[in-house]
Structure 1
Amino acid sequence: MIPKKKIFLLLPDGVGLRNFTFSTFVDEGKKRGYDITYWNATPFAIKEMGYQEIKLGGTMNPKTDLLKRARKEIELNAFKSKTKNPVFSYYSFRPTTKTLKQKIKNTLVKWYAWKYQNKLPALRKELQQSERQSPYYKHCLATLKEEQPALVFCTNQRPVNAIAPLTAAQDLGIPTATFIFSWDNLPKATMVVETDYYFVWSEHMKAEMLFYYPYIKENQIISTGTPQFEMHFDAALKQSREAFCDAHKLDPNKKYLCFSGDDVTTSPHDPVYLKDVAETIRNLNQQKDQWRILFRRCPVDFSNRFEEVLQSYVTEIQSLPPLWEKMGAGWNTVLPTKEDNALLLNTVAHSELVINVGSSMIFDAVCHATPCVYIAYNPEEGVLQKDIHSIYNYIHFQSMPREAPVFWLKNKEALPEILTNLDQKKGSTLEAAQSWFQTINQHPPQNASKRIWEGIKKSIQ
């Protein structure tokens, strides 16, 4: 029996909850004799779930966020120059300029970007130094001195409020690690924190990290997979088709398509696509009434942009909204719940097809041998807010296998043919999707938490 070691799980925002609270992660750690405490900056009451928790609160140095924004601009420009690929320009969003305060901040970001454009190591150090001057850092320092954890493990590399606690740990000689949250994060220059170790989804992501962040050494990167997909292999969450349909007042004799929505920024034309799919289903059902749509909106999309379509196609569309809780104004304060794991699993498992715009839902779907359709056409009417083809130019789609892992919906008229030939053609598509999944996420996917704990063990020896 290894001696108990205290591990601080740093939750700077809510996006890490699904991976490190609603998975097998904590149970796997306890089996190995670790004493796990959540260092929690979210409004989610983890203590009520029976876990140890220390609330993390405080105010960052306002300068730190400006430096973080400048770092992203410098890195994206460096990636663009290194690869000669203009796609990196799409990862930079135009800042808001509605108020004088916002305009002043934007000017300061530009000045910092100019000052540090050829001095990125100095900027990374300045980010830490900026936080050392804040009361927030001193609070983190005091907590760590009292608790003396063996490791501070940050569940997400993106939040700026993670810099102070991680810097405080490093200043005390406590090992630190972070988990790269999403499959597309590294090319987008979302690395905000500096840690001793970096946990990634796959060898593919490890190679990305070495390419985009050459100052990080290979022995600092640990490939484990993500706990994000573990739930799909939990038999206790799987409902029979009859139970699922009964719970959501669905007709078990119908065939269901899951339309999975994206956020407003990624896919502003989602309502058009949902309408196109619904209209197609309505027309097909005139010949034989067998198809229905399960609409799962993006968990951080609380807009009313779908209301007109949902009201116009009541017969064709059944809405199954994600079971997330909105606890603040920002997207990162919309928190997942454990109940949503079961809803997502069963929605995908009992659908014939998942339809979306370039989402990682393809990997959820392939866990249940459910094929996926990627929408790949621009709306015919109205003002074009975003060219959908630009989405599939993003770097993370370069990892696709040569054999198509999805059905491509290149116009709305193509859906009937896809549905008609689904049984005959889904085999090769699913095989390619599984191959892509194995590239993106270390397999077997249900063992990600176990591999992360093995990596933690090595990092604190």
Structure 2
Amino acid sequence: MKKIGIVITDGVGYRNFVMSNFLVEIAKKYDEVNIYSGIPTKCYNDSLISENIKVFDLEPYKETNKVWFYRKLKEVAHMYLHKSYFGINSNLERGYPVSNSKRNLIIKLVYKIASIFHSEKNIIFFEKLQFNAFKRDRVYIDYKKTLEKELPDKLFFTHQRPPYLAPLLAAANKLKIETSAFIFSWDNLASKGRMLGTFDSYLVWSKLMKTEMSIFYPNTDKEKIKIVGTPQFEPYVLDRYTLSKEMFFNKFKLDSNKKIICYSCADTGIGKNDEIHIRAVLTYIKKYENLQLLVRTSPAEDGKRFDDLKNEFPEVIWNFPKWFLSREGHTEAWSQRLPTIEDVMDLKAILNYCDLNINMVSTMSLDFMIFDKPVINTVFGNKKNGLYDDQKFLSYVHYKHVVNSEAVTVAKNEEELHLQMQESLDNPNLRSVQRKQLLNLKISKKLKGTSERIANSLK
């Protein structure tokens, strides 16, 4: 009997690997499939689960001081080693504390040690210390017992970053269970800190990401890095998530005689200029009778920060993503927010039927390009004008590829935005070739069949 364990940590992982075709495909390849879930088991309803799939609750893990210290040392050392990359250096600088509380003094010590000892060999040593520190931890022991009882042939982590999963990886290593990880997002390698640990093999989006793996994790055997695309976008080619144009217009009370501009917000942390951008869009729309604005907020928040704007401009159509909190009182509350089928359908319809997207350098640029829609990135803030500095994201490696491809236009002020809106609405196919080339760079495989490809790679 062949058995695989699938580790699903949060709501986005649920969307990618449960709401796609992945569970259907992996259930065909293995006699038994165990899901080790960071979200409540009640969320896996019968329509999503086949007979040979079982779901197990992962007890939340809280780091001890010793584990936290070694993990922090590993992550900061990784950032020092790769600080020539703007995004990583930005996170490195941002993480250095200003005050001298007891905790912050320890973090400053971590920075001091890591500034001297940050070779790949040092980082692996820090990880070994971190994993050794789990030995007497109750949650680690429980994880180990769970794996011993089920003993899967392989353990697949659908997200390579959450540090609270490190004890599960350590337990798998102890039991000599083969491990594999999916690189969760397009910016995780060139902008973030170290992974939660070292895996036996990796699944990546593209040839570009495989190259990045070799840069940031040079000890990885290239034969153990498989290019599979990403299930993040697979629902866009699945018929069950399709909403007709008529239903979409009726649901959101849109005018079928007007073109639709969609502004998609960032989350609260980095979307501080969202309201400024939206007002600039509205200034343009007011000049024309054939335009309407639909705003989609981030699934990571409730959208209350836009209440005043909503009241001021009743003509704006709002889409607050239908994600629900699956569990109260969790230390990582954002991870417990799950999408509904309705929201996946709403998003697919927005991508399909809107005429233009405007966003602040987010993954939504790729979402709209999949439907060959023009995209404008608004970044009005910099270090000099007093606004939140969103222009810094243009220097992140993953987004420099987007800007350099000319698949999008970048508006650094309202005047530029209005000119680019005019261009996009007058000639929506102008950058179509560049959009297709960028998608091929970022997602090297076709969306159709993504889940089957991932299941085959794991098998």
TM over 0.5: yes
Q: 1:253 to 1:190 in 2, by over 3 A?
A: farther
Q: Distance in 1 between matches of 2:388 and 2:366?
A: 28
2:95 aligned with 1:94? yes
* 1:278 CA drift (Å): 1.7
SS in structure 1 at match of 2:428 = helix
Q: In 2, are the aligned partners of 1:60 and 1:131 still within 8 Å (CA)?
A: no
Q: 1:134 to 1:355 in 2, by over 3 A?
A: same
1:177 matched residue in structure 2: 180
1:53-110 alpha-carbon deviations (Å, 9 max, x no partner): 0111153441323322222211111112xx4x55532123336788956446535644
Q: Distance in 1 between matches of 2:44 and 2:187?
A: 32
What percentage of aligned pairs have identical amino acids? Answer: 26
1:271 matched residue in structure 2: 275
Aligned AA for 1:132?
K
* 1:35 CA drift (Å): 2.1
Unaligned runs of 5+ in 2: none
Q: Distance in 1 between matches of 2:239 and 2:10?
A: 29
Q: 1:108 to 1:176 in 2, by over 3 A?
A: same
Q: In 2, are the aligned partners of 1:256 and 1:352 still within 8 Å (CA)?
A: yes
1:309 matched residue in structure 2: 309
User: Normalization by structure 2: what TM-score?
Assistant: 0.89
**Aligned residue pairs: how many?**
445
Give matches, 1:48-447, under 5 Å: 48-49=45-46, 51=49, 52-62=54-64, 63-80=66-83, 83=84, 85-92=85-92, 93-94=94-95, 102-103=103-104, 106-107=107-108, 109-110=110-111, 113=114, 116-118=117-119, 119-187=122-190, 188-282=192-286, 284-285=287-288, 289-302=289-302, 304-315=304-315, 317-326=316-325, 327=327, 328=330, 330-378=333-381, 383-386=386-389, 388-400=390-402, 402-422=404-424, 424-447=426-449
Q: In 2, are the aligned partners of 1:66 and 1:108 still within 8 Å (CA)?
A: no
User: Normalization by structure 1: what TM-score?
Assistant: 0.89
Q: Distance in 2 between matches of 1:225 and 1:380?
A: 36
Query: Which is further off, 374-383 or 150-159?
Result: 374-383
Q: 1:194 to 1:404 in 2, by over 3 A?
A: same
Aligned AA for 1:321?
F
Q: 1:268 to 1:420 in 2, by over 3 A?
A: closer
Q: 1:56 to 1:108 in 2, by over 3 A?
A: farther
Q: Distance in 2 between matches of 1:43 and 1:341?
A: 20
* 1:363 CA drift (Å): 1.6
Q: 1:271 to 1:381 in 2, by over 3 A?
A: farther
Query: Which is further off, 99-108 or 125-134?
Result: 99-108
Query: Which is further off, 18-27 or 374-383?
Result: 374-383
Query: Which is further off, 160-169 or 202-211?
Result: 160-169
2:4 matched residue in structure 1: 7
Aligned AA for 1:259?
Y
* 1:115 CA drift (Å): 8.0
Q: Distance in 2 between matches of 1:413 and 1:312?
A: 23
Q: Distance in 2 between matches of 1:380 and 1:455?
A: 45
2:28 aligned with 1:31? yes
Q: 1:434 to 1:167 in 2, by over 3 A?
A: same
Q: Distance in 1 between matches of 2:164 and 2:100?
A: 24
Q: Distance in 1 between matches of 2:448 and 2:136?
A: 42
Q: In 2, are the aligned partners of 1:362 and 1:433 still within 8 Å (CA)?
A: no
Unaligned runs of 5+ in 1: none
SS in structure 1 at match of 2:126 = helix
Aligned AA for 1:422?
S
SS in structure 2 at match of 1:251 = coil
Q: 1:122 to 1:403 in 2, by over 3 A?
A: closer
Query: Which is further off, 168-177 or 105-114?
Result: 105-114
* 1:231 CA drift (Å): 0.7
Q: 1:97 to 1:451 in 2, by over 3 A?
A: same
Q: Distance in 2 between matches of 1:115 and 1:99?
A: 21
Query: Which is further off, 425-434 or 373-382?
Result: 373-382
Q: In 2, are the aligned partners of 1:178 and 1:197 still within 8 Å (CA)?
A: yes
Q: In 1, are the aligned partners of 2:5 and 2:155 still within 8 Å (CA)?
A: yes
* 1:325 CA drift (Å): 1.7
Q: Distance in 1 between matches of 2:31 and 2:433?
A: 39
